[in-house]
Amino acid sequence: MASLEDKKRAVARYIETVSAGDLDGILSLYTEDATLEDPVGSAPVVGHAAIRAFYERATKMGIRLEPTGPVRIAGDEAAFPFRVSTVGGPKMTIDVIDVFRFDEAGKVVSMRAYWGKENMKMG
């Protein structure tokens, strides 16, 4: 089973790889059949090919992620707040809380992002 520190390292690696636009690094965090729901309530994205396409679109916008609070671990899940900011072009920020569910090896099997229009700021 993945340790508390393994899960915290996975979250830190996620922040780092998304901010760097490192698609292979992002995918290395997920199981082959992982699901992604961003934001919660949207149609789930399933599997590496679809997850890669999702992050290709996101990283083309030139986004950076910045932690805004501590990582909380409970069982096989981690919740963590962060701010998404665009770099270059129109300025936008979104305050998000992501929840990862991990498998025994410490890979993400499910990612759910909690945010809505009220969490977005333009300018």
Say which of 6, 24, 38, 98 is annotated catalytic. Answer: 38
Q: Within 13 A of 27's CA, how many CA atoms are on the CB side?
A: 17
Q: Is the peptide bond before 39 cis (omega within 30 degrees of 0)?
A: yes
Cβ atoms within 10 Å, residue 51: 23
pTM across the whole model = 0.95
Which pLDDT band, with edges at 50, 70 and 90, does 1 fall under?
confident
* Residue-range domains of the chain with CATH: 4-122 (3.10.450.50)
- pLDDT tens digits, 80-94: 999 999 987 789 999
| Assigned token pair, 75 | 């069982």
Task: Indicate the pairing of strand 92-102 with strand 72-74.
Answer: unpaired
Cβ atoms within 10 Å, residue 60: 9
Say which of 14, 30, 55, 98 is annotated catalytic. Answer: 14
Confidence check: pLDDT of 113 > 80: yes
Whole-angstrom Cα distance, residue 87 to residue 12?
Answer: 20
Cβ neighbours of residue 57 under 8 Å, at least 6 residues apart? none
- pLDDT tens digits, 23-49: 999 999 999 999 999 999 999 999 999
Does residue 38 carry a catalytic annotation?
A: yes
Does residue 114 carry a catalytic annotation?
A: no
Confidence check: pLDDT of 79 > 80: yes
